[in-house]
């Protein structure tokens, strides 16, 4: 700043006097004489070199990210409700703009979207609307606070649709990352919709300005929480920008551990080839989140790309760590938190190879329910296409057709109430390879009690 400039101004005359002989200083009355032209040549050359490097760097930035840049869809979820002051919102907006400026955005690299949390979620801009980092930063600076209630759970359900909807600019088959910046409060439950996002393979980062519940936010963030959850003062958000940038880029790389076929007693893990049979081995660790000292370990060869854990407890969070061990390559460990399904329901529904019949309790047919939808989406890495069915009033079942055999799906039944609120519950189902199998029946939204 100005102080630094004045400091440099005080230093430079002393250096000039040191280059003059005593007779020269006496002839000039003790005043510093300017550098002779030959002394300026090295400084001029250095200045030109720095200017050239700066110009080349700028021209490279204008060309966009390199071909090797990671690809993925990055969604920012900002608390824009009335619980956030205008000053706080402006600081969050400034932080997101700073973070975006550090990322390789572009059509062939990262694409980003911004969604506001309020009484109703609002999309500031969808994926693909802006093709450069400068355009995204301009759009963030222009974003206005929405005010209203803090319905984060509703916004998370909306974010799930945005992250996987091609009409919103999302791309199939690329890593998905959600960055939620919050003051820590929410008017509706956050856990269930956040778990759905993580079940679909979304990496969740949370930045809290210090007023949130540590345990609740640790459960909501991806594992391990020390890497995905940041508590920071509103005026110090810039401190975590570089670290968060690196974590986002790590999550965008295709070397991602993922879970599928999650049941009440186990799940299957898969990962891309990180090693070879000759270059090392994997150490796979599993521990309940509530009992981190109770660890199960499994050593696997370097050419392994999957493993199935069985005989687990229902309705339990598990921390999974995949450690590639190699003397040839340095590969970072990968982490994942998986929640097993509840074992409370003995009811099942038949699931043949290419169709799925879904039914729920008649509670959804009561007059307070205005509409019911049933949606189905293949889990990460599965085939098939997503479906969404509007169920006629009074009905409490539907059949989804045209499914892919041997494919895991996430089935969600959503009830929209006349008050404007929505309630959803999900279950995972896996179509058979031709024989009929048994999968859990989803519990009805709203069946647990009267609507709030």
Residue 147 and residue 81 in contact, taking contact as beta carbons nearer than 8 Å: yes
Cα 435 to Cα 355, 420, 430: the distances in Å are: 12, 41, 12
pLDDT in tens, the chain (452 residues): 444 444 444 433 333 344 444 444 444 444 444 444 444 444 444 454 444 344 433 433 333 344 345 788 999 999 999 988 999 999 999 999 999 988 888 877 889 999 999 999 999 999 988 878 889 999 999 999 999 999 999 999 999 888 888 888 888 878 899 999 998 778 888 888 998 888 788 899 999 986 778 888 888 998 888 889 999 888 899 999 999 998 998 888 765 788 877 888 888 898 888 888 899 999 999 999 888 888 999 999 999 989 999 889 888 889 999 999 998 878 888 888 888 887 644 333 445 567 777 877 654 334 456 678 888 777 655 555 678 888 876 677 788 888 887 777 778 888 776 666 666 667 777 777 654 444 444 444 444 444 43
Calculate the CA dihedral of residues 106, 108, 110, 113 and round it to 10 degrees: 70
- Measure the CA–CA gap between 103 and 72, rounded to whole angstroms: 11
Each residue's pLDDT tens digit, 276-317? 889 999 999 999 988 888 899 999 999 998 999 988 988 888
The pLDDT, as a whole number, for residue 420 is 62
Helix %, strand %, coil % of the chain (to 5): 30, 30, 40
Residue 113 and residue 162 in contact, taking contact as beta carbons nearer than 8 Å: yes
The pLDDT, as a whole number, for residue 450 is 41
DSSP run (H or E) holding 42: helix 37-63
DSSP run (H or E) holding 354: none
Residue 386 and residue 375 in contact, taking contact as beta carbons nearer than 8 Å: yes
3-class SS at 323?
strand
Structure tokens at 443: 């519990």
Structure tokens at 20: 């003059």
Closest CA to 224 of 305, 329, 315, 332: 332
- Measure the CA–CA gap between 225 and 221, rounded to whole angstroms: 6
Cα 282 to Cα 251, 273, 322, 333, 334: the distances in Å are: 20, 11, 7, 10, 11
Q: Which residue has the tokens 């594992």?
A: 223
The pLDDT, as a whole number, for residue 154 is 93
Residue 228 and residue 203 in contact, taking contact as beta carbons nearer than 8 Å: yes
Backbone angles phi, psi at 79, to 5 degrees: -70, 110
Q: Which residue has the tokens 């690329």?
A: 174
The pLDDT, as a whole number, for residue 40 is 47
The pLDDT, as a whole number, for residue 382 is 52
Structure tokens at 128: 């693909």
User: Angle between the 241-252 and 86-101 helix axes, to the nearest 10 degrees?
Assistant: 50
Cα 191 to Cα 153, 210, 278, 447: the distances in Å are: 8, 19, 42, 18
The reported pTM is 0.51
Each residue's pLDDT tens digit, 146-191? 999 999 999 999 998 888 888 888 888 788 999 999 987 788 888 8
What single-letter DSSP state applies at residue 350?
Answer: E
Rg (CA), the chain: 28
Structure tokens at 331: 């590969």
Q: Which residues of 4-42 are buried (b: 16+ CB within 10 A; e: fewer)?
A: eeeeeeeeeeeebeeebeeeeeeeeeeebeeeeeeeeee
The pLDDT, as a whole number, for residue 230 is 92
Backbone angles phi, psi at 416, to 5 degrees: -105, 120
Domains of the chain: 72-252 (3.40.50.410), 258-339 (2.60.40.10), 348-440 (2.60.40.10)
The full DSSP string for 148-203 is S---HHHHHHHHHHHHH-GGGT--TTS-EEEEEEE-S--SS--HHHHHHHHHTT-E
Give CA 51 to chain center in angstroms. Answer: 37
- Measure the CA–CA gap between 156 and 412, rounded to whole angstroms: 14
Cα 418 to Cα 56, 342, 367, 444, 451: the distances in Å are: 59, 30, 9, 17, 10
- Measure the CA–CA gap between 79 and 411, rounded to whole angstroms: 28
Backbone angles phi, psi at 113, to 5 degrees: -140, 155
- Measure the CA–CA gap between 338 and 199, rounded to whole angstroms: 7
Helices and strands (H and E) in the chain: how many = 10, 21
């Amino acid at each position: 700043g100005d102080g630094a400039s004045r400091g440099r101004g005080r230093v430079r005359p002393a250096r000039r006097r040191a280059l003059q002989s005593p007779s020269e200083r006496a002839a000039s009355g003790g005043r510093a004489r300017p550098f002779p032209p030959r002394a300026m040549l090295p400084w001029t050359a250095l200045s030109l070199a720095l200017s050239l490097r700066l110009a080349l760097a700028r021209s490279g930035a204008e060309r966009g990210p390199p071909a090797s840049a990671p690809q993925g869809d990055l969604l920012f979820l900002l608390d824009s409700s009335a619980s956030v002051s205008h000053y706080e919102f402006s600081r969050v907006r400034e932080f997101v703009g700073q973070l975006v400026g550090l990322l390789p955005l572009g059509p062939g690299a990262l694409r980003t979207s911004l969604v506001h949390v309020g009484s109703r979620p609002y999309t500031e801009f969808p994926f693909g609307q802006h093709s450069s980092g400068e355009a995204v930063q301009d759009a963030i600076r222009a974003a206005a606070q929405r005010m209203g209630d803090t319905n984060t759970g509703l916004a998370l359900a909306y974010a799930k649709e945005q992250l996987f909807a091609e009409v919103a600019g999302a791309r199939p088959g690329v890593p998905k990352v959600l960055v939620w910046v919050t003051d820590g409060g929410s008017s509706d439950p956050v856990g269930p919709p956040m778990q759905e996002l993580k079940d679909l393979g979304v990496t969740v980062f949370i930045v809290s300005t210090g007023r949130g519940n540590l345990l609740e936010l640790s459960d909501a963030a991806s594992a391990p929480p020390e890497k995905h959850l940041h508590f920071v003062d509103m005026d110090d958000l810039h401190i975590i920008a570089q670290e968060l940038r690196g974590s986002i880029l790590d999550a965008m790389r295709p070397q991602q551990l993922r879970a599928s076929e999650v049941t009440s007693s186990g799940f299957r893990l898969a990962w891309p080839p990180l090693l070879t049979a000759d270059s090392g081995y994997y150490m796979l660790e599993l521990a309940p989140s509530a009992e981190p000292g109770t660890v199960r370990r499994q050593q696997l060869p370097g050419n392994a790309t999957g493993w199935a854990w069985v005989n687990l407890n229902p309705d339990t969070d598990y921390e999974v760590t995949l450690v590639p061990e190699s003397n040839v390559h340095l590969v970072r460990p990968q982490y994942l938190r998986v929640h097993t399904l509840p074992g409370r329901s003995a009811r099942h529904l038949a699931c043949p190879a290419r169709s799925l019949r879904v039914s729920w309790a008649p509670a959804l047919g009561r007059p307070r329910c205005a509409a019911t939808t049933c949606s189905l989406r293949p889990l990460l890495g599965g085939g098939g296409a997503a479906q969404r069915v509007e169920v006629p009033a009074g009905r409490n079942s539907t059949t989804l057709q045209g499914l892919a055999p041997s494919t895991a799906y996430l089935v969600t039944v959503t009830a929209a109430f006349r008050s404007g609120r929505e309630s959803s519950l999900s279950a995972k189902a896996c179509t058979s390879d031709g024989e009929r199998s048994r999968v859990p029946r989803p519990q009805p939204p709203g069946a647990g009690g009267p609507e709030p």
